[in-house]
């Protein structure tokens, strides 16, 4: 059984608020919410669960998308069919990135944006993130390609930024070469 999370829509002004740093220990409510987010993101990437619970596919969710202005992001990455890596990062910070830029070929989507948005978002191809796990231990994650895009997308939510804010109004659609460029 899955009790679906109430994800804010892009029209909600709360999505534009900058989130506060988290202090430890993490509350029991926040730990429970992280488990629910992981379950829903995982189910949203498994076709039969997606259909059963009427879920839009998603790889990441930030606490502000639930109306909670705390710097917590959750990314559930499918590494092979129905096998997932869960990334929970509290107070995440990008500490280094590549010069190389990329864009998601199909464009980005967002669980808070319930419509198709035309255009590509330029992101760093590789990032290193530092932050804390749920127990307050320091962590460092190196991410590349799709996972790097997901981290940048979710960290943007913590700063009140939606992905389409990055789309170049003069040239929203990139060609194949521009999707991978330096």
Which alpha helices (DSSP H) does the chain contain, by range? 28-44, 47-52, 145-158, 176-179
Answer positive or negative: Cα dihedral of 5, 6, 12, 17.
negative
- 134, 154, 176, 178: the catalytic one is 154
Tokens of 45: 């990437």
| Mean pLDDT, range 73-100, rounded to an integer | 97
Q: What is the pLDDT of residues 37-55, one digit of tens each?
A: 999 999 999 999 999 999 9
Specify the pLDDT at position 111: 98
Write down the pTM of the prediction: 0.96
Specify the pLDDT at position 112: 98
Q: Is 131 contained in some domain?
A: yes
- Chain mean pLDDT for the chain: 96
Q: Is 147 contained in some domain?
A: yes
Tokens of 92: 């995440």
Q: What is the pLDDT of residues 132-157, one digit of tens each?
A: 999 999 999 999 999 999 999 999 99
In the 8-state DSSP scheme, what is residue 89? E
179 pLDDT tier (thresholds 50, 70, 90): confident
Q: Is 13 contained in some domain?
A: no
Q: Is 39 contained in some domain?
A: yes
Q: Decide if 78 is catalytic.
A: no
Identify the CA nearest to 64 among candidates 160, 165, 136.
Answer: 160
Identify the CA nearest to 63 among candidates 96, 97, 29, 109.
Answer: 29
Specify the pLDDT at position 37: 98
Residue 87, domain extent: 20-181
Q: Is 5 contained in some domain?
A: no
Q: What is the pLDDT of residues 106-134, one digit of tens each?
A: 999 999 999 999 999 999 999 999 999 99
Number of domains in the chain: 1
Q: CATH code at 114? A: 3.90.45.10
Identify the CA nearest to 5 among candidates 60, 47, 48.
Answer: 60
Q: Is 172 contained in some domain?
A: yes
Specify the pLDDT at position 182: 60
Q: Is 80 contained in some domain?
A: yes
Q: Is 9 contained in some domain?
A: no
In the 8-state DSSP scheme, what is residue 73? E
| Mean pLDDT, range 26-31, rounded to an integer | 97
């Amino acid at each position: 059984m899955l009790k679906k999370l109430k994800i804010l829509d892009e029209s909600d002004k709360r999505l534009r608020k900058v989130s506060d740093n988290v202090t430890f220990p993490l509350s029991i409510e926040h730990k429970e919410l992280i488990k629910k987010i992981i379950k829903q993101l995982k189910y949203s990437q498994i076709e039969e669960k997606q259909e059963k619970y009427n879920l839009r596919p998603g790889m990441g969710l930030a606490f502000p998308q639930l109306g909670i202005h705390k710097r917590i992001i959750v990314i559930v990455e499918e590494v092979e069919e129905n096998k997932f890596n869960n990334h929970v990062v509290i107070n995440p910070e990008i500490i280094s990135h590549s010069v190389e830029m990329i864009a998601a070929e199909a464009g980005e989507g967002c669980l808070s944006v319930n419509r198709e948005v035309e255009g590509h978002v330029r992101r760093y191809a590789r990032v290193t993130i530092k932050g804390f796990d749920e127990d307050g231990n320091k962590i460092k994650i190196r991410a590349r390609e799709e996972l790097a895009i997901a981290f940048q997308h979710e960290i943007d939510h913590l700063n009140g930024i939606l992905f389409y804010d990055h789309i170049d109004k003069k040239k929203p659609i990139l060609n194949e070469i521009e999707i991978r460029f330096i």
